[in-house]
Amino acid sequence: MPSLYMVVEHYKPGAAPEIYRRARVRGRQLPAGLEYVDSWVDLEYSRCFQLMRTDDAALFKAWIEAWSDLVSFEVIPVRTSAEAAKAIAGEQ
């Protein structure tokens, strides 16, 4: 089963318009095997929180390189709350 990752994108100052323009023109630029699930953007357009899924965390490298001129990234492995509850209860 693929792992989930919360990616926190920190937009460089003033970069939001170019980020959205590039996304319209080029798409997300995700390598095969890296799946976008959903995202949320803060009200100041300074951060985006993206839930991603993949079997191979090394795929983040190419994606991050494509956007690193506009964004810095934190890639955090996560699990669902239900998975966490089972793991804490020793059911995993």
Residue pLDDT, tens place only, 26-43: 999 999 999 999 999 999
**3-state SS track over the chain:** CCEEEEEEEEECCCCHHHHHHHHHHHCCCCCCCEEEEEEEECCCCCEEEEEEEECCHHHHHHHHHHHCCCEEEEEEEECCHHHHHHHHCCCC
Q: Residue 26 belongs to what domain range?
A: 3-88
Quote the number of domains for the chain.
1
Q: What is the CATH number of the domain that holds 8?
A: 3.30.70.1060
Residue pLDDT, tens place only, 59-70: 999 999 999 999
